[in-house]
Amino acid sequence: MENRKPIRSYHDLNVYQNAYEASIAVMTKIVPKLPESEKYDLKDQLSRSSKAVPRLIGEGFAKKHQRFGFQKYLDDAMGESNETQVGLCQCRDIYPSYVDLVLCGHLIDEYDKISKQLFNLGIAWNKFSRIMTKNDIH
């Protein structure tokens, strides 16, 4: 079994670390390359969705003690991650001469992984919180 560190903060979550790094790459290497005509559409939407994923994880972690609190934020983060993935696919397919296609492909895969991590974290956290709730009652 792998040696796991205790989760004391959202910074300790691998999905947070992955989402934060991916958002930085989107904001510094993809969004600035898009044409100015996309300023109020694809650039804006990709900026918002990519930055929202780690923010929602961080904000939701503060509600980890609530039965459904953290789960709602994880679901919202997964939605933003999926939206970012679609936006990156649009960048790749609409503007192949503007963006680095290899990087775009890597980020599409990364956001797919992030969405799966968020889903799995939600399941694991739900099981953990049910165990903790039962132990607190007895």
For position 103, which CATH number holds? 1.20.1440.60
In a domain, 54, yes or no: yes
In a domain, 110, yes or no: yes
In a domain, 4, yes or no: no
| Residue 86 pLDDT exceeds 70 | yes
pLDDT tier for residue 138 given thresholds of 50, 70 and 90: very low
Reported pTM = 0.89
In a domain, 36, yes or no: yes
Q: What percent of the chain has pLDDT over 90?
A: 76
Domain count, the chain: 1
In a domain, 112, yes or no: yes
User: What pLDDT is recorded for position 129?
Assistant: 58
In a domain, 44, yes or no: yes
In a domain, 40, yes or no: yes
The residues, any chain, with a CB within 8 Å of residue 56's CB and separated by 6 or more, are 73, 74, 76, 77, 80
| Residue 57 pLDDT exceeds 90 | yes
Average pLDDT over residues 60-82: 92
Reported as a single tens digit per residue, the pLDDT across 98-128 is 999 999 999 999 999 999 999 999 998 877 6
DSSP for the chain, written as a single string: ---PPP--SGGG-HHHHHHHHHHHHIIIIIGGGS-GGGTTTHHHHHHHHHHHHHHHHHHHHTTTTSTTHHHHHHHHHHHHHHHHHHHHHHHHHH-TTTS-HHHHHHHHHHHHHHHHHHHHHHHHHHHHHHHHHHHHH-
In a domain, 1, yes or no: no
Domain with 52 in it: 10-137
